[in-house]
Amino acid sequence: MMLGLNGLSRRWVGLLALYIAILSLLTPAATVKHDNFKTCDQSGFCKRNRAYADTAISNSKWESPYSLDQASLKFDNGILTGVVNKKIINTDESVRLPLTVAFYESGTARVTIDEEKRQKGQIELRHGSKASKQRYNEAEKWAIVGGTTVSKGAATSQDTETGTTKVVYGPGSKFEAVIRHAPFGVDFKRDGETQIKFNDRGLLNVEHWRQKVEKPKEEKREGEEEKKEGDEAVVAESDKSAAEDESTWWEESFGGNTDSKPRGPEAVALDVSFPGYQHVYGVAEHTGPLSLKETRGGEGKHSDPYRLHNSDVFEYEMDSPMTLYGSIPFMQAQKKDSTVGVFWLNAAETWIDITKTSTSANPLSLGIGSATTTQAHWISEAGVLDMFVFLGPKPQDVIGAYTDLTGYTQLPQQFAIAYHQCRWNYVTDEDVRDVDRKFDKHNIPYDVIWLDIEYTDGKKYFTWDPMTFPDPLGMNEQLDEHERKLVAIIDPHIKNEGNYPVNEELKSKDLAVHNKDSNIYEGWCWPGSSTWIDCFNPKARDWWKGLFRYDKFKGTMKNVWIWNDMNEPSVFNGPETTMPKDNIHHGGWEHRDIHNVNGLTLVNATYDALLARDKDEDKHHVRPFILTRSFYSGSQRMGAMWTGDNQADWPRLAESIPMVLSMGISGFPFAGADVGGFFGNPSKELLTRWYQTGAFYPFFRGHAHIDTRRREPYLAGDPYKAIIAQALRLRYSLLPAWYTAFHEASVSGAPILRPNYYMHPGDEKGFGIDDQFYLGSYGLLAKPVTQEGQQGQDIYLADKEKYYDYFDYWTYEGPGTVSVAAPLETIPLLMQGGHIIPRRDRPRRSSGLMRYDPFTLVIVLGNSGDAEGMLYLDDGESFDFQDGAFIHRRFLYTSATSSLVSEDVASTKASGKKAQDYLKQMESVRVEKIIVIGAPAAWKGMSDVEVSEELGGGESAAATRRVPLDWHEKDEGRAAWAVVRDPGVRVGGGWKIAFA
């Protein structure tokens, strides 16, 4: 190794050292295997609640021990309160559980159950530190941002005969909650029909506060605390309920780690039935099909529940209910023409069992088949029971109500939805500059280049390796020449080393997460020994803000953005590769309580830091971009996610589609998988197909593990390089459609990639389809090729409508399955009749350079002969759109009048200065081409069309002129099409084109 060092440049010495350092670091992560993660059976509370379910279901005499105290009920201003009593079996004792059922203006209902004995106070831990005794009830602080205005219209009535309380609520009073008193349960109805039932199977379970009873035979461990709250009923011995396995009540071990459980058992569980619903979707993030599988064993079913416990899962498994990096405890149920949903707001480890039962047909109603009921059993380790209910009836009603609560996707900067080039690692600043130049040399567009952990000086975030990145500013300035950006990784673990100010401040200011003994928690991660910022502490968030200032994080400038990785958090030597559950966060909460929302808090702090960075500079301040690996409900407000460390093989490519679709219907559509696959080396065919698929991920990034060969698109060779470049160009050309779809998501929560059930909720045959999708509201239907050697693709068309091949206008007619040729250079992509698609067709190096490019409008005429499409446009970077600085148009083609009009749909009139300035800037941006696919035969022989354009004085002051029309005759199976050449109308203005 020492040979010939003299002849090597400094750079190569640095690389060599880097390589050796990396090899040594790979070891800890590489030990993570399936066995490192718990099954339900190895997770005490999951096992207890499954056993509880088995007892309840197998025993026909089983009665849920929960009942509502009728006398306690109060209904005031849309909120019902009362007390649910849990009878302790074989005793006269019962536990009081305060109940709140809130009815919101939006039509959402919310059922919350707390526990009186845990509502106040703290418990003493060893060494005098304290933890909150309360059930965690602050998940909403992070997850919920709106939608909780209480409904004034909700009205209640009691029915003493049936022992129920009814509340009529929701838009048009179409919803009803029927609260059953004994046993306690709630049925939710829409238009008189039951859609959702709580505790129908009697699996509601709130593990109540109890005294720890020392068993005489057990030896008391050193330092173990003595519980001495004298007023507590000693119930442990007498609680002979079904969940009597006490072995994991007070302590639990797994993989050599022991979890002390100072609060004892405290799980909450509830069964939710969806009568008549065959499919459920959601509870991201998991691998496997969009339509969730049953989980209690049997052929084609999982044997473990879907698990939500954010974790760094090394080489994760395909088609598995195992947990992954993020959690969205939101589930939708689908039957013909009806969608409903629930959202379980709980940040602790959660498991969800799914089962389906078929009720046989009523013998009297001949001809009516059996109905499937899907049942979900939600089980969380701690926290209050807090469930939101959405009654639909459309998929968007449910997703819209959920995102009304948890917030809409941030409207990203335009560069963020263009192509990102990443690798672990671009090894020097010169390497970055070189890749940047090569993209240009090969005429391949890209917007962002990324740096993984190796840019730092010894894994110390906010520093640069002086050997390999001596000139970060020079590098960033080169990128900026073509409006390109840099994304640098910043993780939540801080190298625990002296002489590193970030670590020293974190410790001296006491802003780090504590261990159960109240000392600063130390664990092992990329830098070796590390500490972790506690973003639950407002002071820690404030401090974090300061670290991103341009004068603190030297070498960064305005085009540098952030990647928050490892924020589950990943701890190489922690239980299940994360933090011990008995660690203590700000506010006295155990890590157990907040685990799943932990990753969100880091991204929240980073978001605020990036905002502050620009505000401090008092410049034109722009929308932060952050990529996160870990997430929770609400993370969509702050940036993008990706599906973590996938592999370069074909099944992973196929699997990425349902994973990204699942994120989309879960309110977090800004999602993608690593293009090319993270681990391993893709064949050139796989890499090419992956780019063709990735061109349809809302978040589109190529990424690769440090041990893989370089695979930048320009290295792919013929014919792959050109085909990959085509896929990238397709993405860039459709950016106006993508950006408009993101805008729609940012105001309604609508998915960007839309599965069949979402588009066609009446078409039961399509409910399980998850390998094809529509892009936004544009009728663009894609089914990327995900198998080796595949030359054709069968696409399912749900509706009676014309579809055209995107590239050659070959015509297909739904409903049914059609076959599309798909040789390597082809992406199976169809256009559904009835839409107008905006594009920008001029090839550029980056999306920033397309700002003033002209538009092409593609009018796709279907069976009705009419078509419609939206375009949303703003400066693509700032918050000026909030002051009206945007263009929002609806293009409408009407067959009855053979005319295309552009209408303003801006919600506010652009009167402010920012709005006026923007419109002025865009004044010269024109429509350069209009393509009409499926053009009427009557146009044959027409040589021009009439254009009338507003001159600024409204319709009356329109000027008219004629521009040429080119006619293209039908050809074999291809549609007739026509092109209006250079109509020259302003994209931001009002105009009309008459095809006559």
**Interaction site with ligand NAG (CB under 6 A):** 141, 604, 607-608, 637-638
Identify which of residues 610 and 782 has a Cβ nearer to ligand NAG in the complex. Answer: 610
Active site (annotated) includes residue 232: no
Distance CA 711, CA 679 (A): 12
Identify which of residues 109 and 533 has a Cβ nearer to ligand NAG in the complex. Answer: 533
Identify which of residues 486 and 638 has a Cβ nearer to ligand NAG in the complex. Answer: 638
Phi, psi dihedral angles at 145 (to 5 degrees): -125, 0
Active site (annotated) includes residue 616: no
Kindly state the smallest distance separating residue 202's Cβ from ligand NAG, in Å: 38
Identify which of residues 536 and 696 has a Cβ nearer to ligand NAG in the complex. Answer: 536
| Beta strand segments in 566-692, E | 626-628, 640-642, 671-672, 674-675
Identify which of residues 275 and 667 has a Cβ nearer to ligand NAG in the complex. Answer: 667
Kindly state the smallest distance separating residue 224's Cβ from ligand NAG, in Å: 36
Partners of 271 in the beta sheet? 377
Assess contact for 461 and 502: CB atoms under 8 A: yes
Structure-token match 């049925």, residue found: 187
Identify which of residues 141 and 920 has a Cβ nearer to ligand NAG in the complex. Answer: 141
Partners of 899 in the beta sheet? 894, 994
Phi, psi dihedral angles at 694 (to 5 degrees): -60, -30
Q: Is 619 exposed, middle or buried (0-12, 13-18, 19+ CB in 10 A)?
A: exposed
**Which tokens is 418 given?**
């263009």
DSSP 278: -
Buried b / exposed e along 40-71 (16+ C-beta atoms within 10 A): bebbbbbbbbbebbebbbeeeebebbbbbbee
Kindly state the smallest distance separating residue 640's Cβ from ligand NAG, in Å: 13
Distance CA 645, CA 315 (A): 7
Distance CA 505, CA 511 (A): 8
Among residues 381, 329, 378, 337, the alpha carbon closest in space to that of 355 is found at: 378
Kindly state the smallest distance separating residue 609's Cβ from ligand NAG, in Å: 11
Kindly state the smallest distance separating residue 603's Cβ from ligand NAG, in Å: 8
Identify which of residues 141 and 336 has a Cβ nearer to ligand NAG in the complex. Answer: 141
Catalytic residue from among 465, 565, 744, 950: 565
- Residues contacting residue 538 through CB under 8 Å, at least 6 positions apart: 586
Assess contact for 518 and 584: CB atoms under 8 A: yes
Kindly state the smallest distance separating residue 567's Cβ from ligand NAG, in Å: 14
Phi, psi dihedral angles at 57 (to 5 degrees): -80, -35
Distance CA 848, CA 606 (A): 24
Catalytic residue from among 187, 207, 645, 877: 645
Identify which of residues 338 and 410 has a Cβ nearer to ligand NAG in the complex. Answer: 410
Catalytic residue from among 483, 568, 655, 949: 568
Kindly state the smallest distance separating residue 141's Cβ from ligand NAG, in Å: 6
Distance CA 601, CA 536 (A): 7
Assess contact for 491 and 453: CB atoms under 8 A: yes
Identify which of residues 334 and 604 has a Cβ nearer to ligand NAG in the complex. Answer: 604
Kindly state the smallest distance separating residue 607's Cβ from ligand NAG, in Å: 5
Kindly state the smallest distance separating residue 635's Cβ from ligand NAG, in Å: 9
**Helix or strand or coil: residue 987?**
coil
What is the β-pairing status of strands 419-421 and 700-702? parallel
For residue 804, the tally of other CB atoms under 10 A from its CB is 26
| Shortest-Cβ-distance residue relative to ligand NAG | 604
Structure-token match 């069976």, residue found: 863
Active site (annotated) includes residue 63: no
Kindly state the smallest distance separating residue 985's Cβ from ligand NAG, in Å: 38
Distance CA 891, CA 555 (A): 45
Identify which of residues 563 and 806 has a Cβ nearer to ligand NAG in the complex. Answer: 563
User: Which helix (H) or strand (E) covers residue 67, if one does?
Assistant: strand 66-68
Inter-axis angle of helices 735-748 and 395-406, nearest 10? 70
The CA angle 211-214-215, to the nearest 5 degrees, is: 130
Active site residues: 565, 568, 645
